[in-house]
Structure 1
Amino acid sequence: MNVLIVLPILIPLSTLLLALLVRRRHAWVTAISMTGAALLLIVGLYLVALAAEGRVLSAQMGGWAAPYGISLVIDRLSAVMVAITGVIGLATLVYCFRQPMPADFLRDTHLFIQGLLTGICGAFITADVFNLYVWFEVLLIGSFALIALGGGERRLSGAMTYLVLNMLATLLFLLAAGLVYGATGTLNMGELALLFRADQASSGAWLGVVLMLVSFSIKAALFPLFGWLPASYHVAWTPVSALFAGLLTKVGVYALIRLVTLLWPEPGVVHSVLLWVACATMIIGVLGAAAQTEVRRILSFHIVSQVGYMVLGLALATPLALAGAVFYLIHHIVVKANLFFVGGIAARLTGSERLAAMGGLYARAPLLAILFAIPALSLAGIPPLSGFWAKFVLVKASLDAGIWMAAFFALFTGIFTLLSMSKIWNETFLKAHPEPQQLGVVGGGPRGAWFTVVVLALITVMIGLGAGPVMNYAMAASAQLIEAPAYLQLLHRGGE
């Protein structure tokens, strides 16, 4: 077995265990946690470099062949998802550094984030449905603890909403896995792909897989199953909200992309349903954002609308559309996390997250205005930033497929996204603060927070200016998703 394939799981898990051993020494916990996140990022970038060369890693844990052993696969898509998880994980921990919070609170945040990263990376590299369920459980435990951390009626209420809906999705997933196993005798994704691609799947297997897709749709916050997200993300501590905004729904999107492309590489009924769901998700999400008056609630609804773009690429099922979905995943994780980070700094300086109680930051903190404008304009799809290229590819794929409706909804959503970002800009930066004496000191906040938003803004610009290489990688990832060589071939030879 190639040891490299298990490092995305072993690194955050080992970091968590080591930090637990020294949990009474808060400074040590911080150092260990940040070192672990940096190592995860380094390994992720190395995996991307290997994937760019055409390498696909696979392994059967314990030497047990499928369908009995646990299968792991790292291809282009899973490699870049591990790398971007490292980016956002490390960015979150740097943002947390020296924040004015109790030491025990910061320590627990580090511990739960490492547990969350373990679950996320496990979900990205598994090739076994039951193992995917296990990793969903791991990240659910970590994410619930992070939302509830700190207590308070508002936070606990949001945490319970989050837990109930996501627990429902997880239980539905477990039921679905049982149905699929009972009907097929396997939960290995490669073996399931062989059955479905050959039209040999029974009605029981179909029912189980459809229930899985519903479960993943809840996790991804697709219409009409998205209500838990805007009800919960805004109550968590700002760095936690940013981490969730960047990564959590993308695990659901990733699972959808992986399962649908494996089982149905050609367009069919499932893709038609996903097309309508994607369009509804884009529109309902962006209209919901327009009705909000708090920064993080606005941004939370925009998570919903932007997930619609990713699922649109999956629903169109052409190589270009799938590449657009991969590009959108890469772009959106960075941009959305950064908007939450910037919103946290703005709230600290103005003393509120309500737009009516904010203002005056353009004159007081012009750098923050620029750092907000970069991800905001990228989210809206303004060239030459990363979001423009992601939307351009998806709109072109829609037009090439002759689905004008999808192109219209994508453009319509982009326009309303720009309007929402303009509302935040006007209320937070341009208008005068209703109580100017309450404006905070710009240089008085933790430097780690400013460093984080600067680096993520630079990454957004770099993705936009380097859209060619990123798109080439995404196109190759799209081809791998359709052909699924690791899942259909390497696993049955026991992996590398």
Structure 2
Amino acid sequence: MSNIWIVLPILFQLTSAVLLLFFWNYIKIQKILSALLSLLGLGISLVLFKEVYNEGLLVTQSGNWSAPFGISFVADTFGTTMVLLASVAGLAVSVFASASMTKARLQFGFYPMLHFLIMGLQGAFLTGDIFNLYVWFEVIIISSFVLITIGGKKAQLEGAIKYVALNLLASVFFLIGIAFLYGLTGSLNMADLALKVQEIDNKGLINVTASLFLVAFGIKSAVFPLYFWLPASYHTPPPAVAAIFGGLLTKVGVYAMVRTFTLIFVGDEFLSVILSVMAALTILSGGLGAMVHQHLGKIFGYFIICHIGFMMAGVGMMTELAIMGTVFYLVHDIVVKTNLFMVSGIVLKINGTQNIKELGGMYQNYPLLSLLMAIPLFSLVGIPPLSGFWAKLFFIQGGLESNEYLLIAFIVLGSFLTLWVIAKVWAEVFWKKGENLPKKARGIYFRELGRRQKLALILPVVFLSIISLYIGLGAENIVSLSERIAKELMNPEAYIEAVMSKKLNAL
């Protein structure tokens, strides 16, 4: 079915970013406008999601050119789910930043860049053209580079250089892979590529091309051994920036990997083995990295890596159950990781440090706030019936179905490492008595903050915690959604037919 309103979320974020530029020197207006625009953007994304869920896949072609010659925008269940999650995270971070970031940092264009970043992410989720996906990735890199350098501190600039250098390298591999695909098929439309790649007899050349995409998306997803840029950079920017990065930036790489390896490069045993090995080593390296660090930002950064390994495992198994697990974990992980970096920001506001050895007494001094923070922490672990638990069941079932027993062992190991580290964090930060701890002059005592500041810090955490509880306690709804997405991904005929139809209205 054709619907030109597919592009509305992208156009809305672009309009929001441009509008905020007109209020460059009016930070208070930017705070209010960004929150209102983010709320409206969430409503638009929700309407698009409901339309696709109820009516089926939507397609529109730009420039009055039918596929495969024009640029296609495709809204399927997977893409619109990711658009909705990006809007959820964007709203939470927009509100949180208004209280957690200083005016000096906000004056460098945080809010316009945040909306440009969300625009890039939503464009990547809705495009049906592989080169257009590359273009949206570049929009994401440019926006995120500005965000990661806001404030210009030495550690930030050092982390930003590592971040942008590795991501530009990923873009080079991505562009080379696109060139290979175009040379082999003469097409850039993903639905058309799905048809033409299957007709190529030289499977070795297809494997080389797929490997280029694997390296490109692997760097962006921070998988082993391509993850070193992430722990060196994600703890350096303000917590609001780290929250949107931790929640969404690596997930767009996972999305791209799932999309291309279920649509274009399908059924290759060699790639499945490589993906499974990389998944296992990503889980192990991320978990061990979280164990040896004391800084909350670095711990959560390594958990991003570890849990990307879980999602990679689902892609490596390439069964419907395993893909269900990957989709469920994506939904859970975007919400929880965004929330965790905001939690670390509140801890920093209260204590002036994120070093767990220098923290303590949180539960004693702030019992209700601590219980609120426990929701994302224990959801991350996957304690039943919280959100992280259900996806792992699908991974284990998928592993049993495909005889991937070693991969199951690494998933269980990663879960135990997560449990051990989160138990350590809880004991050090919350249970330990806050006596004889070093005082940090840069810390802001929470009780001295204004009521509006407190609400702006706490409400986004409450908002995302409620969503996490819904994902866990209302798991049957997310299971139903994940099952539908997995079936669509594993049986892409409807996607291909809708995009390649000649009877579509032009944008």
Query: Which TM bucket (shorter chain)?
Result: over 0.9
The AA in structure 2 aligned to 1:33 is S
Counterpart residue number, 1:74: 75
Counterpart residue number, 1:467: 475
Alignment of 1:173-322 (within 5 A): 173-200=174-201, 204-266=205-267, 268-322=269-323
Counterpart residue number, 2:343: 342
In structure 2, list runs of 5 or more residues that go unmatched.
none
> How much has 1:33 moved relative to structure 2?
2.1
TM-score (norm 2): 0.94
Residue 72 (structure 2) pairs with residue 64 (structure 1): no
Counterpart residue number, 1:451: 459
In 2: Cα distance, 1:201 partner to 1:325 partner: 30
In 1: Cα distance, 2:121 partner to 2:448 partner: 34
SS at match of 1:234: coil
In 1: Cα distance, 2:200 partner to 2:118 partner: 37
In 2: Cα distance, 1:228 partner to 1:194 partner: 36
- Equivalent pairs: percent with the same residue? 38
Alignment of 1:482-493 (within 5 A): 482-493=490-501
C-alpha distance 306-300 of structure 1, shift in aligned 2 (>3 A): same
In 2: Cα distance, 1:10 partner to 1:334 partner: 24
The AA in structure 1 aligned to 2:17 is L
The AA in structure 1 aligned to 2:66 is A
C-alpha distance 437-103 of structure 1, shift in aligned 2 (>3 A): closer
In 1: Cα distance, 2:308 partner to 2:365 partner: 34
Kindly indicate whether the alpha-carbon contact (under 8 Å) linking 1:179 and 1:207 is maintained by their aligned counterparts in 2.
Answer: no
TM-score (norm 1): 0.96
SS at match of 2:353: coil
Counterpart residue number, 2:437: 435
Counterpart residue number, 2:324: 323
In structure 1, list runs of 5 or more residues that go unmatched.
none
Kindly indicate whether the alpha-carbon contact (under 8 Å) linking 2:100 and 2:345 is maintained by their aligned counterparts in 1.
Answer: no
Counterpart residue number, 2:154: 153
Of 22-31 and 385-394, more deviation after overlay is shown by 22-31
Of 190-199 and 281-290, more deviation after overlay is shown by 190-199
Kindly indicate whether the alpha-carbon contact (under 8 Å) linking 1:355 and 1:427 is maintained by their aligned counterparts in 2.
Answer: yes
Of 434-443 and 279-288, more deviation after overlay is shown by 434-443
C-alpha distance 237-104 of structure 1, shift in aligned 2 (>3 A): closer
> How much has 1:422 moved relative to structure 2?
1.0
The AA in structure 2 aligned to 1:114 is H
> How much has 1:295 moved relative to structure 2?
0.5
> How much has 1:50 moved relative to structure 2?
2.3
Kindly indicate whether the alpha-carbon contact (under 8 Å) linking 2:27 and 2:106 is maintained by their aligned counterparts in 1.
Answer: no
In 2: Cα distance, 1:203 partner to 1:415 partner: 39
> How much has 1:395 moved relative to structure 2?
1.2
> How much has 1:34 moved relative to structure 2?
2.1
Kindly indicate whether the alpha-carbon contact (under 8 Å) linking 1:26 and 1:104 is maintained by their aligned counterparts in 2.
Answer: no
> How much has 1:442 moved relative to structure 2?
3.4
1:300-332 deviation line (CA, Å, top 9, x unaligned): 000000001111111111111111110000001
Kindly indicate whether the alpha-carbon contact (under 8 Å) linking 2:210 and 2:265 is maintained by their aligned counterparts in 1.
Answer: no
SS at match of 2:56: coil
The AA in structure 1 aligned to 2:289 is G
C-alpha distance 87-201 of structure 1, shift in aligned 2 (>3 A): farther
Of 85-94 and 361-370, more deviation after overlay is shown by 361-370
1:98-149 deviation line (CA, Å, top 9, x unaligned): 4461256256110110111111011111111110110000000000110101
Of 235-244 and 187-196, more deviation after overlay is shown by 187-196
> How much has 1:191 moved relative to structure 2?
1.3
C-alpha distance 396-206 of structure 1, shift in aligned 2 (>3 A): closer
1:143-184 deviation line (CA, Å, top 9, x unaligned): 011010100111100110101001111122112212221222
In 2: Cα distance, 1:98 partner to 1:397 partner: 43
Kindly indicate whether the alpha-carbon contact (under 8 Å) linking 2:124 and 2:136 is maintained by their aligned counterparts in 1.
Answer: yes
1:243-294 deviation line (CA, Å, top 9, x unaligned): 1000000000000000000024436221121111111111111011101110
> How much has 1:444 moved relative to structure 2?
3.6
> How much has 1:383 moved relative to structure 2?
0.4
In 2: Cα distance, 1:55 partner to 1:298 partner: 40
Of 459-468 and 49-58, more deviation after overlay is shown by 49-58
1:418-467 deviation line (CA, Å, top 9, x unaligned): 11111111111111233377685434442211011111111111111110
Residue 124 (structure 2) pairs with residue 123 (structure 1): yes
SS at match of 1:489: helix
Counterpart residue number, 1:25: 26
Of 202-211 and 477-486, more deviation after overlay is shown by 202-211
Kindly indicate whether the alpha-carbon contact (under 8 Å) linking 1:127 and 1:190 is maintained by their aligned counterparts in 2.
Answer: yes
C-alpha distance 273-202 of structure 1, shift in aligned 2 (>3 A): closer
SS at match of 1:300: helix
Counterpart residue number, 1:16: 17
In 2: Cα distance, 1:88 partner to 1:325 partner: 19
> For the aligned residues, what is the CA RMSD?
1.8
Counterpart residue number, 1:138: 139
SS at match of 2:220: helix
